[in-house]
Structure 1
Amino acid sequence: MSTAVPAVPAAWAAAPVAAAAPATRAQPGGDFSLGGPASLASLGPAERLTERLWLRAPEAADLPALHEFHADPATHRYNPAGCLHALADMEAELERWLLHWQHHGFGYWLVCRRERPQEVLGVGGIMRKRIDGQQAMNLHFRFRPQAWGQGYAAETSCAALALAFEQLHEAEVLSVVRPANQPARRTLERAGLRLIGAWGDVPGQAASLIYEMNEGCYLEQRAAGHCCKPRDR
């Protein structure tokens, strides 16, 4: 794998939130473990580098790439609402993401490989969302099928947890998953989240499961060296 920092196309250089983009980028070959010299926490919310990934704030121009995989039924296998067939539905979803970035200064990222920044693998990160009647910080990820099974969702989730607890100082992060979605459940558990309850958000179907990571647990796991361990590759 190339370790070069991606050359960012001009259209991607500006984040939707004026103050969110960092002045400098992390240098290749740095220590990307939590708390290291090139820690994820040292980068701004709109752009972050992990060992293999470049995470960046979305833009309106990303609509075609996002619709391509959100319209694929395979990416919504466990979603009772199904995939986003209509471009207008994806456009409305992207607009919600952009508004969240504008209002809060963070949100879901587009996920790209560091050596192939023009190729969108998926989307993931944290956003404020109502869960079981309460306002919460929601961890979400969705990837195109070609990116499955390579640990990208766990790597993205760990970057999101670092942002939530080390920069935003959140008390907890939640994630809602359908009970049959074993791949997503394993990803959440690999990132250190634990199952804490269920939520009947889909009438007539089995309750969704709620996973949680709180600040105390995150700090304990990080101190013990167990937080956000990447899968063996």
Structure 2
Amino acid sequence: MPKMTPTDPYVSARLLMRPPVADDLARFYAIFGDPETQRFNPAGPVASEEQARQILTERIEKWRQHGYGSWAIALRERPEWIIGFGGLSWHPLGAQRTVNLGYRFDTQVWGMGLATEMALAALEYGFEHLGLDEISATVRANHQASRHVLEKAGLRLVDTLNDVPDAEPSLIYTLMRSDYQGG
């Protein structure tokens, strides 16, 4: 398997995934500021371009710290148009920290199987290139589409987490390296 550097784009059949850069701000704000993409996020949409800049800067910094993080995602046929952000990142999970699989896509590309394709690519990257032992995801119980993506990618429901006050618990999905079927 070829050695990759953290800045190399990662590709799947239809997607080009690369570390985010400051110039991604407009697309980051468009996607994370859209109430529809944030419907299941208890925090709601990003409220301002300045808040989006802060979050994007944190994601860029996490790449510097860990050598991986949430990708900026484009279609291979249109690499200049960022359609989403997602991938693997260190994330608090109750009292521990875990590598979390997460994603948000522009509503224009929903229903095309791209979230599943990105999730499978992220699992491959995590297990085969980063040597991770476990990858988890946290999802709201009523977010059926995201639950379906996680299940299609091979993650299994393992626990719940009371992470949002006055709300139903989130669901924790996990895939262990020993159960990973390979890309």
User: Could you say whether these structures have the same fold, taking a TM-score greater than 0.5 normalized by the shorter chain as the test?
Assistant: yes
Aligned-partner Cα distance in 1 for 2:47–2:166 = 24
- 1:123 pairs with 2:75: no
Q: Identity across aligned pairs (percent)?
A: 37
Aligned-partner Cα distance in 2 for 1:52–1:45 = 20
Deviations 1:34-89 (A, max 9, x none): xxxxx7x7654431111011111100111111101211100011111110021111
1:76 aligns with 38
Q: Note if contact 1:139-1:175 (Cα within 8 Å) is conserved in structure 2.
A: yes
Q: Note if contact 2:162-2:169 (Cα within 8 Å) is conserved in structure 1.
A: yes
Structure with bigger gyration radius: 1
- Give me the TM-score of the superposition, normalised by structure 1: 0.75
- 1:106 pairs with 2:60: no
Amino acid at match of 2:163: D
1:9 aligns with none
Q: Note if contact 2:21-2:60 (Cα within 8 Å) is conserved in structure 1.
A: yes
- 1:209 pairs with 2:135: no
Unaligned runs of 5+ in 2: none
Secondary structure of the residue aligned to 2:43 is: coil
Aligned-partner Cα distance in 2 for 1:194–1:43 = 28
- Give me the TM-score of the superposition, normalised by structure 2: 0.95
Question: Aligned-residue CA RMSD in angstroms?
Answer: 1.3
1:90-169 aligned at under 5 Å gives the runs 90-169=52-131
Aligned-partner Cα distance in 2 for 1:209–1:155 = 21
Secondary structure of the residue aligned to 1:106 is: coil
Secondary structure of the residue aligned to 2:132 is: coil
1:30-41 aligned at under 5 Å gives the runs none
Deviations 1:149-202 (A, max 9, x none): 111111111111111111111110010000000000000001000000000000
Aligned length: 182
Picking from 2, 13, 16, the partner of 1:54 is 16
